[in-house]
Chain A
Amino acid sequence: AQTVTQSQPEMSVQEAETVTLSCTYDTSESDYYLFWYKQPPSRQMILVIRQEAYKQQNATENRFSVNFQKAAKSFSLKISDSQLGDAAMYFCAYRSGQTSGSRLTFGEGTQLTVNP
């Protein structure tokens, strides 16, 4: 079974600074997807960024980028120019690409605080 681990229960960053959230995963599959979701106080799950395992290039979405290290099974999220609105719980998630309709496996989450 796949597992996802987020070793940082809480992180904080100063507004306009950069922060990196860590995520590692364990799988024997070669075809899979990795995601970072944001859950603000409203508790609506928002997709931040997605990475296909077969792509070597790291995904980037505006101020959000990932460092995908497939061999090390590491998938960290970098938030640049942090804004107050980035404060939220962040979840790393894994999904198999080999099975249609497969579930998401979530990490424990990292609570990010942005200090003004």
Chain B
Amino acid sequence: GAVVSQHPSWVICKSGTSVKIECRSLDFQATTMFWYRQFPKQSLMLMATSNEGSKATYEQGVEKDKFLINHASLTLSTLTVTSAHPEDSSFYICSALDRVGNTEAFFGQGTRLTVV
């Protein structure tokens, strides 16, 4: 199956700093990528939909100035958590839709963010 690589798998940062998470489709082109946030023992909550070459579409309640998403190429999308605070600590997951097939979403390994 197609591979989506998410990096880093875990990160600890100080409050007030910014953290960038990368999501790469390794063997396919992804026109659309999705960013999710997941709290322990809960479902995935969609934060934003990212389309290559255009601005991301954010879900209601998600601060776009805090969670910056860039999808500059068909294989890379990034999520930057700006001015991180402890309440931003969570598990973040990306997924990508194959440009050709466009049916199945492939998921990255996830990133555990801890803000201290």
- Complex Cα gap A66–B34 (Å): 26
| B42 to A: closest C-beta gap in Å | 7
A106–B44 CB distance below 8 A: yes
Given A43-B91, A45-B93, A101-B97; A50-B104 close (CB under 8 Å): yes
A-side interface residues toward B, CB under 8 Å?
33, 35, 42-45, 47, 50, 89, 91, 95, 100-101, 103-104, 106-109, 111
Residues of A within 8 A of B46 (CB): 103-104
20 A-B pairs with C-beta separation under 8 A = A42-B109, A43-B109, A44-B109, A45-B44, A45-B93, A45-B107, A47-B1, A50-B104, A91-B43, A91-B44, A95-B105, A100-B102, A101-B49, A103-B34, A103-B46, A104-B46, A104-B105, A106-B44, A108-B43, A109-B43
Count the B residues whose beta carbon is within 8 Å of the partner chain — how many? Answer: 23
B32 at the interface (CB under 8 A from A): yes
Residues of A within 8 A of B93 (CB): 43, 45
Q: Residue among A42, A43, A107 with the most chain B CB within 10 A?
A: A43
Q: How many A-B residue contacts, CB cutoff 8 Å? A: 48
Residues of A within 8 A of B44 (CB): 45, 91, 106
Q: Which residue of chain A has its CB nearest to the CB of B97?
A: A101
Residues of A within 8 A of B51 (CB): 101
| B44 to A: closest C-beta gap in Å | 5
Q: Residue among A44, A103, A109 with the most chain B CB within 10 A?
A: A103
| A104 to B: closest C-beta gap in Å | 6
Residues of B within 8 A of A91 (CB): 43-44
- Complex Cα gap A33–B109 (Å): 23
Q: Which residue of chain A has its CB nearest to the CB of B51?
A: A101
| B58 to A: closest C-beta gap in Å | 12
